[in-house]
Structure 1
């Protein structure tokens, strides 16, 4: 059988052989482009990374009218709640410990029985300062676990279920700038990369 196939190939018309060669060149070119991309992401970023500062209040001991959470995927403040469509309006809630440190509470630690569509959130404390941290790690995140941090400490977030077609997460970073204890208010700096799978955490249109 193998001899017959070889004979058929070399006996094929010249046009067919040219088509096969062209196809091989195309496959090779695509492979080279994919290998050249650090994340194997062939679609350019469309959303600009912007550094933001916001104030959020401790979940405990504050009025229900005050925001105590943040939805990084939409960059909106919220008071945690279940929505009428069965979803939630936040990714991470904030609280204060007895010694006035900040507790980060991923959504699944706040909602006892989260709807099936509520995604997990990964948190990773970084030893790099907020301004110097340029790229999110691709592993090491604690999933759906609370994390206590102090002023000046940086945390990287992995946000799956962000609406990306192939399931890639968004990545973000935050830092606690200050705590106004009398108001139970926390001032936070953040930056979110809302491009599917991109891990760059610098201001501007990311390249990776």
Structure 2
């Protein structure tokens, strides 16, 4: 007698649905973009020797500057060291989560079309200067990814101004908060 395994019809339906999702798009877990990428500016103040009420960090998920005295949920922070260097700190360099990362770029802000997948610095600060461009990978989040899992978001930043007197840095930025997308061009992303 030959015993043939039988596939549960409900399991077969779920497997078929999963296969359709995987086969139907570039990134089966990304969903569709619903938020437009827009260019904006923000100013951050050094972690040290500035009033605590001023934002020293940035959250890609919120597309917003963050005060570090109210939360540690940010993707990078800014400070000026004792030698006067302007530094961007991924949270891992401050003893926090190592998921977010920063990557210096050798291209102009406008030339960067997509965020790289690898080589993000997560455990040490990076020095920046006027006109320096860098990419940030956020901490993974379920925000706007309800059925797809946790994904990082990506943003590109250009240092517009460094101000030693105010101990501040002004950044031009474009952040893509769509779930699973790495496109860094203005408008509704397709990838």
Do they superpose with TM above 0.5? yes
Q: Does structure 2 retain, via aligned residues, the 8 Å contact 1:123–1:145? A: no
Q: Is 2:82 the counterpart of 1:103?
A: no
- Which structure 2 residue ranges, 5 or more long, are not aligned? 5-15
2:181 matches 1:198: yes
CA offsets 1:80-123 (integer angstroms, 9 cap, x no match): 1354xxxx24221101245644201122333x4x4xxx562111
Q: Secondary structure of 1:197's partner?
A: coil
Shift of 1:160: 3.0
Q: Structure 2 CA distance, aligned partners of 1:73 and 1:40?
A: 21
Determine which of 22, 31, 48 is the counterpart of 1:43.
Answer: 31
Q: Report the TM-score, using the length of structure 1 for normalisation.
A: 0.73
- Aligned residues of 1:105 and 1:147 also touching (Cα < 8 A): yes
Structure having the higher Rg = 1
Which position in structure 2 is the counterpart of 1:72? 60
8 Å CA contact 1:72, 1:192 repeated in 2: yes
Q: 1:173·1:192 contact (CA, 8 Å) conserved in 2?
A: yes
Please give the alpha-carbon distance, in whole angstroms, between the structure 2 residues aligned to 1:27 and 1:146. Answer: 41
- Say if 1:63 and 1:197 are closer, same or farther in 2 by CA, change over 3 A: same
Structure-2 separation of matches of 1:91 and 1:133: 20
Find the residue that maps to 2:111 and give its secondary structure: coil
d(CA) in 2 for partners of 1:76, 1:161: 16
Q: Is the 8 A contact 1:198 1:206 kept in 2?
A: yes
Residue 173 of structure 1 pairs with residue 156 of structure 2: yes
**Cα distance in structure 2, aligned partners of 1:108 and 1:26:** 39
Structure 2 matches for 1:48-67, cutoff 5 A? 48-67=36-55
TM-score by length of 2: 0.79
Alignment-derived partner of residue 138 in structure 2: 159
Q: State the match for 1:12 in structure 2.
A: none
Distance in 1 of aligned mates of 2:182 and 2:62: 17
**Residue deviations 1:121-167, cap 9 Å, x none?**
11111111111101011111122331111111111111132224422
